[in-house]
Amino acid sequence: MPASYAYLGPEGTFTEVALRTLPETATRELVPYVSVQSALDAVRNGEAEAAFVPIENSVEGGITTTLDELVAGQPLMIYREVLLSITFALLVRPGTELSDIKTVTAHPAAQPQVRNWIKKRLPDVAWESAASNADGARLVQEGRYDAAFAGEFAAERYGLEVLESDIHDAENAQTRFVLVGRPARPAAPTGADKTSVVLWQRDDHPGGLRDLLGEFATRGINLMLLQSRPTGAGIGNYCFCIDAEGHISDRRVADALMGLKRTCLQVRYLGSYPRAEVEPADVGALRPGTSDEAFVAAADWVARCQDGRF
């Protein structure tokens, strides 16, 4: 029996389309799950080798359901990421006209991406959230709702018609998906990598967030995602989900993580992995003094000072 990858289902989601771009899926069984939580739990309890889930979109930022699942519970690790351009189609049962639509459904992350289109074309429609865009299509097939925003490719799978296509409020909208597995040694650096962590402050004090970000800034590390999430310990208690350029094997990144480990209440390492659609040649030059060679030279200088050889 082949190893399996869990993914946010049912069949016909953008998640499935993005997952199938990974070459290794040819040798994996792809198993749909009803939610991000259930897909990640499948990895935690050993049902699946890895899970593939959405984590960020270019319109609304981080997918909070996924971030919260990675923040809490048994630790997991990100191994790959995939970017997918997103446009929606309005799927309906055969014979449905635009004037017939009173209710629409889709995943909550879809609403901000089609909000203006709805306001213009379906101003009086009632919106209901679905577990995924494909699940919304399934609910339309069953007669629960009049229309669903989903990928055009889902129409045939659920016996629906495409009433409108190429729907999006923002040009070049993309969603980022990640392949998540149990913790293990990260893959070797490629020169175009990303490191993800979650940080908890020891206490709330003026400049606390600045202090955390300073660990990255002083080492010339660019941040690609910064999002706060409530810890559940009361109003005003937050942790911070961060994506930073670089790999944990880079001296500047390792040094920043050591600084954060010393000063934070808790640090959760979520992995170092290749950046999607970025080649090492496309990565900008490091700031002076932040290369591995600069860290080695500085450590050697300190050692010589300790030995009286300066």
pLDDT tens digits along 77-91: 999 999 999 999 999
Judge if 180 and 67 occupy the same domain.
yes
> 205-236: per-residue pLDDT in tens?
888 899 999 999 999 999 999 999 988 777 87
> Residue 12 region, left (φ>0) first, then alpha (ψ -120 to 50), else beta?
left
Judge if 101 and 223 occupy the same domain.
no
The residue among 247, 276, 263, 267 whose CA lies nearest residue 197 is: 267
Average predicted confidence (pLDDT) for the chain: 93
Judge if 247 and 101 occupy the same domain.
no
Q: What's the mean pLDDT in 184-196?
A: 96
| pLDDT reading at 54 higher than 90 | yes
Count other C-beta atoms under 10 Å from residue 208's C-beta. Answer: 15
Question: What band does 170 get if pLDDT is binned at 50, 70 and 90?
Answer: confident
Q: Rounded distance, CA 24 to CA 6, Å? A: 13
Q: What's the mean pLDDT in 154-179?
A: 94
Q: What is the pLDDT of residue 2?
A: 61
Domain stops at, among 140, 167, 194: 167
Residue 26 belongs to domain spanning = 1-85+174-184
CATH number at residue 226: 3.30.70.260
Answer yes or no: are the C-beta atoms of 134 and 153 closer than 8 Å.
no
Judge if 4 and 146 occupy the same domain.
no
CATH number at residue 38: 3.40.190.10
Judge if 144 and 39 occupy the same domain.
no
| pLDDT reading at 310 higher than 80 | no
| pLDDT reading at 109 higher than 60 | yes
Judge if 133 and 243 occupy the same domain.
no
How many domains is the chain partitioned into structurally?
3
The residue among 256, 250, 255, 267 whose CA lies nearest residue 186 is: 250
Q: What's the mean pLDDT in 50-61?
A: 93
Q: What's the mean pLDDT in 141-163?
A: 96
Q: What is the pLDDT of residue 39?
A: 97
Judge if 122 and 108 occupy the same domain.
yes
Judge if 200 and 135 occupy the same domain.
no
| pLDDT reading at 1 higher than 80 | no
Judge if 95 and 79 occupy the same domain.
no
Judge if 101 and 213 occupy the same domain.
no
